[in-house]
Amino acid sequence: MRNVFVFIRRHFNFLFFLVLQIIALSFLFRFNKFHEAAFLNVSTEVTGRINERYNNIEYYFQLKKTNESLVQENLRLRQLLKENYEGPDSARRLIYDTIKVDSGRTILKYKILEAKVVSNSTSGPANYLTIHRGFDQGVRPNMGVTGPQGIVGSVINVSKNFATVQSMLHYQFGVVAKLKNSNETGNINWDGQSPQYVIMKRISKSVKVEKGDTVLTTQISSLFPANLMVGTVAEIIPDNSSSFYTLRVKTATNFSTIEYVYVLDNLQYDEQKKLEDSTRKKIQ
């Protein structure tokens, strides 16, 4: 203990200067938006590098589960291939006396980018993931993120090689979802309790709901395509003061063990947002 006091006395000026410097920098980054953004980008890059090295060690202990998950997902995707389906043969011909103008062609809306999770939190009210993909690999803010089993969150901050994802286990995260059986929609949020469950609100009591019902994304979201898994209904909570249910939904994604995710690049997002912003200005 005596050596500690001697050290502090000997280097008091330097230590005092260091404390003042830290306080000054905290004020600079907190109250200046430009410096705050620059600091976030640098800290995301540095933290990502550190977490990546730590995660490489932990990764080898999870290889078996990861491989099993990838095998199951590949099996599911292969079953969706067009070659696996064959329509019934029909010799009937239909002749139209009009010309079909619309070609009916489909346009690619989402491009999928795989990414490794290098950092993840589940215990606080505001949880994030850090993934090893950034600007250089085509990631930008406002991209949806999903996993092998279900949706994960959305990208909110990006550096050169890393990105921060706002987890579904974040008090500010929200997405519109639907019940598969009835197509009834409601808002998905996290109540800050268990990392295995989220809350689905504003489900009318006139809708038939049962435990185990599937909850999916809707076409309303610009983050996710329709019909991605959100989870399954675990509990139905009636609200006596209103005509709505609150549903407790078990998430399809296991946030405690997730190692790989898929970033969804909505190729039509900019066009849609530009049109919506222009419409708002016209009606104001």
Q: Which two tokens stand for residue 60?
A: 């080898």
Tell me if 221 sits within 8 A of 176, measured CB to CB: yes
Whether the predicted pLDDT of 24 surpasses 80:
no
Tell me if 224 sits within 8 A of 264, measured CB to CB: yes
Phi-psi domain of 190 (left: phi exceeds 0; alpha: psi -120 through 50; beta: other): beta
Tell me if 264 sits within 8 A of 145, measured CB to CB: yes
Q: Is 43 exposed, middle or buried (0-12, 13-18, 19+ CB in 10 A)?
A: middle
SS3 content of the chain, % helix, strand, coil (to 5): 35, 30, 35
Report the pLDDT value the prediction gives residue 140, as an integer from 0 to 100.
Answer: 94
Greater confidence, 34 or 259?
Answer: 259
Within 8 A by CB and 6+ apart from 80, the residues are none
* Backbone φ and ψ of 246, nearest 5°: -115, 125
Please, which pLDDT band fits residue 187 given cuts at 50, 70 and 90?
A: very high
Greater confidence, 79 or 281?
Answer: 281
Q: Nearest CA to 134 among 114, 163, 156, 106?
A: 163
Domain segments of the chain as ranges = 2-61, 109-269
Residue 101 CA neighbour count, 13 Å, CB half: 0
For the stretch 234-275, pLDDT in tens is 999 988 888 899 999 999 999 999 988 989 988 888 888 888
Q: Does 109-269 carry CATH code 2.40.10.340?
A: yes
Whether the predicted pLDDT of 25 surpasses 90:
no
Q: Which two tokens stand for residue 174?
A: 């929200």
Amino acid at 48: G
Report the pLDDT value the prediction gives residue 272, as an integer from 0 to 100.
Answer: 82
Give the Å distances, CA to CA, from 85 to 78, 81, 82, 105, 274. Answer: 11, 8, 6, 20, 39
pTM score, whole prediction: 0.69
Tell me if 35 sits within 8 A of 28, measured CB to CB: yes
Torsion from C-alpha of 185, 191, 197, 200, nearest 10 degrees: -10
Q: Is 231 exposed, middle or buried (0-12, 13-18, 19+ CB in 10 A)?
A: buried
Within 8 A by CB and 6+ apart from 24, the residues are none
* Backbone φ and ψ of 271, nearest 5°: -65, -45
Please, which pLDDT band fits residue 93 given cuts at 50, 70 and 90?
A: very low
Pairing of strands 163-170, 214-217: unpaired
12-31 vs 2-10: helix crossing angle, rounded to 10: 70
Amino acid at 124: G
Q: Nearest CA to 255 among 170, 159, 137?
A: 170
For the stretch 112-155, pLDDT in tens is 888 889 999 998 899 999 999 999 999 999 999 999 899 999 99
Q: How far apart are CA 152 and CA 253, in angstroms?
A: 7
Q: Which of 44-53, 96-105, 212-221, 232-241 is least confident?
A: 96-105
Report the pLDDT value the prediction gives residue 72, as an integer from 0 to 100.
Answer: 63
